[in-house]
Amino acid sequence: MPAARSVAVAAFRESVRDKVFYNLLLFAVLLIGASLLIGQLTAGQDVKIIKDLGLSATSLFGLFIAIFVGISLVSKEVDKRSVYPLLAKPVRRTDLIVGKYLGLLITLAVNVAVMAVALYGVLFFLSRGVPANVQQAWDAPALDPALLTAILLIYVELAVVTAVAMFFSSFSSPMLSAIFTLGVYVIGQFTADLNGFDQIVHARGAIALAKACYYVLPDLSRFDVKIAVVHGQAVSAAYVGTSIAYGAIYIAALVLAASAIFSRRDFK
């Protein structure tokens, strides 16, 4: 799909032009500022808190990009009417959707990678000079490679949220798409509660609806291993592998659905 590749590269360049990466500056200031202040506020938990802060900020900043850039991927082309000359070229509508999605994935990958490097950098400086006996008492080493597992799953989660945003924006207005995506993101954190709904209510209809939501909506809580990783708890390769596979299949379903809807859309 060379057309999709061209669209992806263009979408990535567009995000660079739109100064999406300015958030990296804010991330760096937040992390460095926190590393200077944290020692004054906590009782020797600097490394743990910086890990929590770094992973949470990576997830939160990525979430904002995924939602707000994700919903504008398609709608901006339609609103600015640049979709007409684009579709007049030998570019299929599916290529446009897939390309736009891949472009934002590249943006998110660069974003998450730079944040990961910054997090490791701050952790390196924070742990420098700390006596070995103190470091041994930490749940996990400061430069723990397992942090990358948490970062990888954050990225997969962001990829799913981006796919959700693009799916909604393929048929809805940007405002509604943002609300729907945010709603799916929040519900995606509570899927375990949906699964246990039968313990709260007895109405069969409500239980069936909750079960349907449990299986249909993305289970985003599966991608959250931040606390486990920060405390040095083992996250098995099988868990990571199945979570990534689940995310990939869900993304494929959403991108295909968005392509199908966008292909039928009438731009007259």
Partner 1 sequence: MTRVPAVLAVLCLAGALTLHAAQDRWFPRAPENYPAILYVRSPDTMRRLALEYDGITADLYWIRALQAFGRERLQPPAAARRYELLYPLLDLTTTLDPYFSIAYRFGAIFLGEPYPGGPGRPDLAIALLEKGLKQQPHRWQYMQDLGFVYYWHLQNYKSAAAWFQRASQQPGAPNWMRPLAAVTLTEGGQRRSARALWRQIAQSDQAWLRDTAAHRLAQLDALDAIDQIQARVDAFHRARPAERVTWPALIAGGWLRGTPVDPAGTPFTVDPATGHVAVSRDSALWPMPGDKPEAPR
Which of 164, 186, 171, 189 shows the shortest CA–CA distance to 68? Answer: 164
- Non-local (6+) Cβ contacts of 47 within 8 A are 123, 126, 127, 138, 142
Distance CA(126)–CA(32), nearest Å, equals: 10
CA angle, 255 then 17 then 265, to 5°: 30
- In the complex, least distance from residue 227 CB atom to partner 1, rounded to whole angstroms: 5
**Smaller CB distance to partner 1: residue 100 or 222?**
222
Distance CA(160)–CA(66), nearest Å, equals: 9
Distance CA(31)–CA(162), nearest Å, equals: 25
Distance CA(59)–CA(158), nearest Å, equals: 8
Q: Given the rule CB under 8 A, which residues bind partner 1?
A: 41-45, 48-49, 52-53, 55-56, 59-60, 133-134, 136-137, 139, 186, 189-190, 193, 220-221, 224, 226-228, 230-231, 233
- In the complex, least distance from residue 92 CB atom to partner 1, rounded to whole angstroms: 36
Distance CA(141)–CA(163), nearest Å, equals: 35
**Smaller CB distance to partner 1: residue 53 or 102?**
53
CB neighbour class for 172 (10 Å; exposed up to 12, middle 13-18, buried from 19): middle
**Smaller CB distance to partner 1: residue 77 or 193?**
193
- In the complex, least distance from residue 64 CB atom to partner 1, rounded to whole angstroms: 13
- In the complex, least distance from residue 27 CB atom to partner 1, rounded to whole angstroms: 14
**Smaller CB distance to partner 1: residue 18 or 139?**
139
**Smaller CB distance to partner 1: residue 68 or 190?**
190
- In the complex, least distance from residue 224 CB atom to partner 1, rounded to whole angstroms: 4
- In the complex, least distance from residue 144 CB atom to partner 1, rounded to whole angstroms: 14
**Smaller CB distance to partner 1: residue 5 or 48?**
48
